[in-house]
Structure 1
Amino acid sequence: MNRLMPRGEYLYTYAYTEDEKELCGLETRSFFGAGHTGKIIKSKTAVDPDRSPFMKERIDILFEEEGLEEIVDRASAISMEGQTFKVIFVKINGEPEAEKTLYDEKRAVESRIGKVIQGKADMQKPDIVFGLLPYEGRWYFGRYQLAEPVWFRHQKKPKQYSTALSTRVARVVANIAAPEIEGVRAIDPCCGIGTVLVEGLSMGIDIVGRDVNPLVVVGSRENIAHFGLSGEVVHGPIAEATGQFDVAIIDMPYNLYTSATPADQLSILSHAHRIAEKLIVVTLDNLDSMIAEAGYAITDRCIAKKAGFSREVVVCHRAQ
């Protein structure tokens, strides 16, 4: 293909419910920084769209123009050199509601651009997919990638735990903990059945787990192996954890078998401070005073809701 130079900018589209808005916002801030909101995000940060359960598509921007005519003109310079292609007018876009392009018009625009690209179109199994997206008064065109809902497959674990995080929430928590994967070491010292571990490992995060309950440790190992993943899960309390980690993820124990008293909670947080610079706490109760007593400062937070049941996700860093 006559390779137009990528600009190093990306457009991401999102889909979430009102209950998921806060959690999605925290994940978005973790990936892209403060100020990025809404269902379309433009950024110079490259994120694999498969990572987020809320992210639907990514366009690697090749060019942008004020109008569609200029996009068609630029597209005419593309030569596929034997590769097949397809053009998609992205459904989630920035058009004002009153000016939304109708379905038939979108197909006509796709066809018009496809006809000027030098190569063979293939609507079924193209080698390359291009995306067209109007946003904030501009038109964008680039390589298109549809997100694969990897987390969805992880719902069918051989071992289940009634109070475990959902796979969607667990995946987001892992992303908040390690938005950049390279060189990051993570630990889930109260890992339970391994829901966060499975999501983290499936994204390539270097994460280990441990738990005081020997039964769930066995179940966690089985779940990890079931999905063809490899990761360490140790039986024992966080007090016995050694080494240093960039981040610890703690879904605070609250079920019948491994419930934690306030003293236990403080101990867990204090030992996390000993081994990890950054801490993600998932909790039913407000633990702000304990987090401060353990030596952490809260830097971000949100409420994760589901069917009237809410957990708080708190992002912390060691206090200076």
Structure 2
Amino acid sequence: MNYLYYYVRHMDEREVCELEMRALFGKSSNAPYIITERCIEPSRSPFIKGRLAIWIEADTEKDLIERVASYSFKTDETYKLTCLNEVDFDDEKKWSHTQRRQIERSVGSAITAEVDLHNPTVELGVIYLEGTYYFGAVQKGEAVWFHHQQKPRMYSTALSSRLARAIVNIAVPHIEAVEKVIDPCCGIGTVLVEALSMGVPIEGSDVNPLVCDGSRENIAHFGYDTSVTLCPIERVEGPYDVAIIDLPYNLFTHVTDEQLTSILKSAYRIASRVVFVAIESVEEQLQQIGFTIVDEAIARKAKFERKIIVCER
């Protein structure tokens, strides 16, 4: 079965969104939707608005209605149909309220099962994109990251919860394939919270005792649990499957080139896959150390830019 994921993203987020797509699905899309065989929870991504399991494809509304009428719905389920063309999908502009209600009535009347508009056991969706109607079961995404924005301990230079969630997906697209993940410069734990909320087996460390305390408090506040160790990355013992490392050092902390190189070399030692977040170019140093850069993107917020660099050794 194929699945259609539809997205909501700001223009500044486009590169990061497409990088996350490539990590999760092995390909990206210029449009704010993608069709793939892989089934994931839509709430994993901060950009995915929902997922449509494609049961039927049709070129015309008439053909769609005929196929829905002959579809074998489960008799022990109740259904409600919603038209998903409620936002712009690039060239496919959003449909008016009248248009959406019209197709919901015409297609919904063809459903050969009990309809329940208030408490259905299955929510159905229909969407029209680039000349094709897609019909099937829909699951809406939940903005889990949004609930993590209000932490008891805050840090002005920390990643946003939304960006941190995308970075976790980029670093760990297949959670079941990893056993140990680390954020060895974890700060107040933004990445840790997002990873733990998705079931990623992650732990953290940092050289600053105050932010370690803050990280532990934030993690506990949201009901999660993991170890956060007061430890420089040079003393972290591997191996880990993945490391996620935010490197905003040269703007906010006096770190020499030699110290930065030490951090990068330590990352190479402890993990076979590392996602770096940097505010300046470190690609040359990474390649000299032995990393292979497999993908990258720029995360923009106003005039501030962060590089997201995916490396493997």
Deviation at 1:264, TM superposition (A): 1.4
Cα distance in 1 for partners of 2:61, 2:104 equals: 11
4+ residue runs over 3 A deviation = 77-80, 92-98, 255-259
Residues 95, 223 of structure 1: CA spacing in aligned structure 2 closer, same or farther, 3 A cutoff?
Answer: closer
1:10 maps to: 3
Decide which moves more: 123-132 or 10-19: 123-132
Deviation at 1:140, TM superposition (A): 1.1
Decide which moves more: 256-265 or 165-174: 256-265
1:284 maps to: 279
2:19 maps to: 26
Question: For this pair of structures, how many residues does the alignment match?
Answer: 310
Report 1:92-131 matches (<5 A).
92=87, 97=92, 101-131=95-125
Q: Is contact 1:280–1:316 with CA below 8 Å preserved after alignment? A: yes
Cα distance in 2 for partners of 1:275, 1:107 equals: 55
2:253 paired with 1:273: no
Decide which moves more: 86-95 or 196-205: 86-95
2:75 paired with 1:81: yes
2:299 maps to: 304
1:64 maps to: 57
User: Which amino acid in the other structure matches residue 39 of structure 1?
Assistant: P
Aligned to 1:111, the other structure's residue is in SS state: helix
Cα distance in 2 for partners of 1:276, 1:108 equals: 54
Equivalent of residue 143 in structure 2, options 129, 145, 149: 149
Cα distance in 1 for partners of 2:181, 2:132 equals: 40
Residues 94, 214 of structure 1: CA spacing in aligned structure 2 closer, same or farther, 3 A cutoff?
Answer: closer
2:187 maps to: 192
Q: Deviations over 1:240-270 (max 9, x none)?
A: 2113112111101428885532211111110
Cα distance in 2 for partners of 1:93, 1:9 equals: 22
Decide which moves more: 192-201 or 245-254: 245-254
Q: Deviations over 1:194-227 (max 9, x none)?
A: 0000001101111111001111111101111111
Equivalent of residue 182 in structure 1, options 164, 176, 179: 176
2:126 paired with 1:132: yes
TM-score by length of 1: 0.91
2:223 paired with 1:228: yes
Q: Deviations over 1:88-147 (max 9, x none)?
A: 11124769548x643212211111222222333233332111111122322111110111
Cα distance in 2 for partners of 1:226, 1:255 equals: 31
2:196 paired with 1:201: yes
Cα distance in 2 for partners of 1:39, 1:257 equals: 35
Cα distance in 2 for partners of 1:101, 1:283 equals: 41
Cα distance in 2 for partners of 1:183, 1:299 equals: 18
Cα distance in 2 for partners of 1:176, 1:267 equals: 24
Q: Is contact 2:32–2:90 with CA below 8 Å preserved after alignment? A: no
Residues 59, 307 of structure 1: CA spacing in aligned structure 2 closer, same or farther, 3 A cutoff?
Answer: same
User: Which amino acid in the other structure matches residue 134 of structure 2?
Assistant: Y
Q: Is contact 2:92–2:130 with CA below 8 Å preserved after alignment? A: no
Cα distance in 2 for partners of 1:106, 1:181 equals: 37
Residues 303, 86 of structure 1: CA spacing in aligned structure 2 closer, same or farther, 3 A cutoff?
Answer: same
Equivalent of residue 158 in structure 1, options 152, 158, 166: 152
Deviation at 1:310, TM superposition (A): 1.1
Decide which moves more: 88-97 or 66-75: 88-97
User: Which amino acid in the other structure matches residue 301 of structure 1?
Assistant: E
User: Which amino acid in the other structure matches residue 179 of structure 1?
Assistant: P
Cα distance in 1 for partners of 2:254, 2:172 equals: 27
Q: CA RMSD in A?
A: 1.9
Aligned to 1:28, the other structure's residue is in SS state: helix
2:33 paired with 1:40: yes
Decide which moves more: 65-74 or 173-182: 65-74
Deviation at 1:36, TM superposition (A): 3.0
Cα distance in 2 for partners of 1:249, 1:137 equals: 41
Decide which moves more: 208-217 or 133-142: 133-142
Equivalent of residue 171 in structure 1, options 165, 168, 177: 165
1:237 maps to: 232
Decide which moves more: 171-180 or 114-123: 114-123
- Unaligned residue ranges in structure 2 (runs of 5+): none
- Unaligned residue ranges in structure 1 (runs of 5+): 1-7
